[in-house]
Amino acid sequence: MNLKIGWLYPDLMSTYGDRGNVIALLYRARSRGIGATVITISVADSVDKINRADLFFMGGAQDLQQEIVAKDLRAEKGIFLKKAIERGIPGLYICGAFQFLGKYYKTSEGKILEGLDIFDLYTQSGQEKEKRLVGDMVFNPFFAPDKRFVGFENHNGRTYLGKGTQPFGKILKGFGNNGKDGTEGMVYKNSIGSYSHGPLLPKNPELTDWLVQKALQLKYKRKIKLKNLDTKYEDLARKTVIKKLID
Ligand code: GLN
């Protein structure tokens, strides 16, 4: 079996250790004998690279990079990305990526950056007096509500989900989508949007496996059971953050 990870805009969208998510995907796939490789997709690349990916990852960025990428995605790549997402190709979209796959992002200057309108959500940058939402976070993920996942957030945008999406997690500590409604991120088909940088996947291997499994099942059109891997160090890292914040 092999798995091609489409890493969208690594040169523009990758902050606070986001690249660690790609390393975690490669590591957990290869440890099981799955031939995992990365396809980088950026402004200069042709659109067919999107069609070759079995799984997508896209990290966060500040408003300036978001504007450049939004322009490129709107030109052509976004149409193919939307088709892939609708087909159920799994993906993880962090912070800025999560924001502009929604309807729009309103910057602090009041400028509206049109999103790709794939996810039913919109984001409004915090007003002058509102603080940036920064810090470690703990939440229960939707597919394992008894588990506690950890992440690190740093954003000004406040995201509000529409009816077409469900939250990725329920906040136990931290701000999440907007600091008000207790939601973190979103799920749509097999795509996950999240405010967790940190990076998210090395600390929460269950999510890495969820993405890898969904991607392989779609690609090979059969049920796939991933063999268990030791998560001693991942669990210890997570426990340390949770202890500091909650227990
Ligand atoms: N520019 C966005 C915000 O501040 C995204 C930031 C990020 O991706 N870390 O909300």
User: 232 C-alpha vs ligand 1 centroid, how far in Å?
Assistant: 32
Q: Ligand 1, closest atom to CA 60?
A: 8
What are the residues facing 58 on neighbouring strands?
8, 93
Active site residue: 36, 95, 133, 172, which one?
95
DSSP codes of every residue in 33-50: T-EEEEEEE-TTS-THHH
Q: Provide the 10 A C-beta neighbour count for residue 80.
A: 17
Q: Identify the pLDDT of residue 129.
A: 83
Instruction: Report which secondary-structure segment, H or E, holds 86.
Output: helix 78-86
User: 62 C-alpha vs ligand 1 centroid, how far in Å?
Assistant: 5
User: 225 C-alpha vs ligand 1 centroid, how far in Å?
Assistant: 35
Each domain of the chain, given as residue ranges in start order, spans 2-245
Q: Identify the pLDDT of residue 247.
A: 80
Active site residue: 103, 197, 203, 238, which one?
197
Give the residue, out of 15, 156, 195, with the most ligand 1 atoms within 8 A of its beta carbon, to mutate for a pocket test. 156
Q: Identify the pLDDT of residue 228.
A: 96
2-245, CATH topology level: Rossmann fold (3.40.50)
What are the residues facing 106 on neighbouring strands?
112, 124
Q: Ligand 1, closest atom to CA 154?
A: 9
pTM equals 0.96
Q: Identify the pLDDT of residue 74.
A: 87
CB of 55 closer than 6 A to ligand 1? no
User: 85 C-alpha vs ligand 1 centroid, how far in Å?
Assistant: 22
Q: Identify the pLDDT of residue 31.
A: 98
Q: How far, rounded to the nearest angstrom, does the alpha carbon of residue 45 sit from its chain's CA centroid? A: 21
Dmax (CA) of the chain: 52
CA distances 56 to 3, 44, 49, 172, 183, Å, are 11, 18, 11, 27, 23
Q: What is the pLDDT along the chain (247 residues), one digit of tens a residue?
A: 999 999 999 999 998 889 999 999 999 999 999 999 999 999 999 999 999 999 999 999 887 888 899 889 988 899 999 999 999 999 999 999 999 899 999 988 888 988 999 999 999 999 878 899 999 999 999 999 999 999 999 999 999 999 999 999 999 999 999 999 999 999 999 999 999 998 999 999 999 999 999 999 999 999 999 999 999 999 999 999 999 999 8
